[in-house]
Structure 1
């Protein structure tokens, strides 16, 4: 498929802030990879408030501005915007002023769950964020072990107004067959609404946005791929996005032979 633009709303492209590029040259290399893949706009999303990284909004804004200057000087046709991949914590509503959204007005925010669980306080926290005008977007739910075991957990979050983002590498099998199958089911059942690269400038964590959109088009038709790309643009622009048509996968019947 051909796209006039491709927006990547989840990319660790900023240098020296987390486990993404170590320096500016690595950032520029990742940017060139993105442009080659057809990506035109990237939301820079360093980790924030997980066990390893704290990246305050002011610092992220400053580093993003410097990267854009470097991109322009290197004549790399890519536009970057500042954001964060915010690790879920029970007091995010109290830290709200230091959090960056997908869009400037924080209508949407990328929220990361632990890989091994869904915190019991998550629903209450999401309610607080919604009351502040922010819709949480659960990033890479396909790599969370609780969601893998029971997609009804993700269904409940979506039914309560949250959104979710699947990772291109996951959909293409880069994290293994199980994660690829879960990703497929999430896309099939409209439990995820947008695609992101979650690229980290390391082996096996590339952009792959165009390839993933092509695969979604092959699996579900071009309109599905177009919707995923348009949703990324809408989120970046702060337009209204709501989950539609989400369902739970039909459980396979077991047949016993005696």
Structure 2
């Protein structure tokens, strides 16, 4: 498959700001790996408001400008945009002015749930963000332990008007067969609308976005792969993206023969 643009909406490429890249040298390595994978545009999404990292809006914007200058000086053909991987907290509406969207107008925001559970207040916060004009894009739901046990939890958020982003590494098996199977099922039931790298300079957190899109094309059809990439571009531009054709995952019936 060929993409004139390849947009990555989730990437920890900025130096020294979170667990993504410790320094400029590693960030430049990531940038070159992204270009090799065919990526042309990256939304930089440092962790924000999780238990470890706080990365305020102005700081991220400044770091993106600094890093873009380094890329341009080395003629690395990659365009970086400022964003955050915003961790779900009960006070996000109060913190809203300090939050970065996936696009300039904040029509979309990359929203991270805790890895172990889905907080009871998640629906309320998503509703509050929607009232402020922002559609949350739930990142890597396939790796959330509670969603893994009941994939229809994600269905309820999509029904509420949220979107969801699958991690490329998850789909091609980098987190094991169980997560790969869940990823496949989420695509099959249209419960995810975009795929992104979530790249770090950690082992097994590489740029495999193009490989994942190729696999989506083989498993689910080229039109689905192109739709995922168009959705990524539209989210970055703040254009309309809605979940289409999504459906609940029916429990498999088991028949016993005696």
Q: TM-score, normalised by structure 2?
A: 0.99
Give the Cα–Cα distance (whole angstroms) in 1 for the partners of residues 89 and 162 of structure 2. 16
Report the secondary structure of 1:60's partner residue. helix
Shift of 1:255: 1.5
Give the Cα–Cα distance (whole angstroms) in 2 for the partners of residues 113 and 238 of structure 1. 22
Partner of 2:136: 136
Report the secondary structure of 2:92's partner residue. coil
**1:23 partnered with 2:23:** yes
**Where has structure 1 moved over 6 Å in runs of 4 or more?**
none
Shift of 1:151: 1.3
Give the Cα–Cα distance (whole angstroms) in 2 for the partners of residues 125 and 229 of structure 1. 27
Q: TM-score, normalised by structure 1?
A: 0.99
Report the secondary structure of 2:224's partner residue. helix
What pairs with 1:63-212 in structure 2 (closer than 5 Å)? 63-212=63-212
Report the secondary structure of 1:175's partner residue. coil
Give the Cα–Cα distance (whole angstroms) in 2 for the partners of residues 134 and 5 of structure 1. 25
Give the Cα–Cα distance (whole angstroms) in 2 for the partners of residues 184 and 173 of structure 1. 10
Partner of 1:52: 52
Give the Cα–Cα distance (whole angstroms) in 2 for the partners of residues 200 and 52 of structure 1. 16
Report the secondary structure of 1:239's partner residue. coil
**1:221 partnered with 2:221:** yes
Q: What does the per-residue CA deviation read over 1:202-245, in whole Å, with 9 as the maximum and x for residues that have no partner?
A: 11001100000000000011111000000000000000111110
Shift of 1:134: 0.3
Give the Cα–Cα distance (whole angstroms) in 2 for the partners of residues 115 and 20 of structure 1. 17
Partner of 1:245: 245
Give the Cα–Cα distance (whole angstroms) in 2 for the partners of residues 13 and 167 of structure 1. 15
Report the secondary structure of 1:230's partner residue. helix
Report the secondary structure of 1:185's partner residue. helix
Shift of 1:38: 0.3
Partner of 2:6: 6
Shift of 1:5: 1.2
What pairs with 1:33-44 in structure 2 (closer than 5 Å)? 33-44=33-44
Give the Cα–Cα distance (whole angstroms) in 2 for the partners of residues 104 and 2 of structure 1. 27
Give the Cα–Cα distance (whole angstroms) in 1 for the partners of residues 105 and 2 of structure 2. 30
Runs of 5+ consecutive residues of structure 1 not aligned to the other structure: none
Give the Cα–Cα distance (whole angstroms) in 2 for the partners of residues 252 and 124 of structure 1. 31
Give the Cα–Cα distance (whole angstroms) in 2 for the partners of residues 3 and 107 of structure 1. 24
Report the secondary structure of 1:120's partner residue. coil
**1:256 partnered with 2:221:** no
Shift of 1:161: 0.3
Give the Cα–Cα distance (whole angstroms) in 2 for the partners of residues 207 and 102 of structure 1. 19
Shift of 1:249: 2.3
Partner of 2:233: 233
Give the Cα–Cα distance (whole angstroms) in 1 for the partners of residues 5 and 241 of structure 2. 19
Give the Cα–Cα distance (whole angstroms) in 1 for the partners of residues 253 and 161 of structure 2. 30
Q: What does the per-residue CA deviation read over 1:139-183, in whole Å, with 9 as the maximum and x for residues that have no partner?
A: 000000111111111001000100000000000010011110110
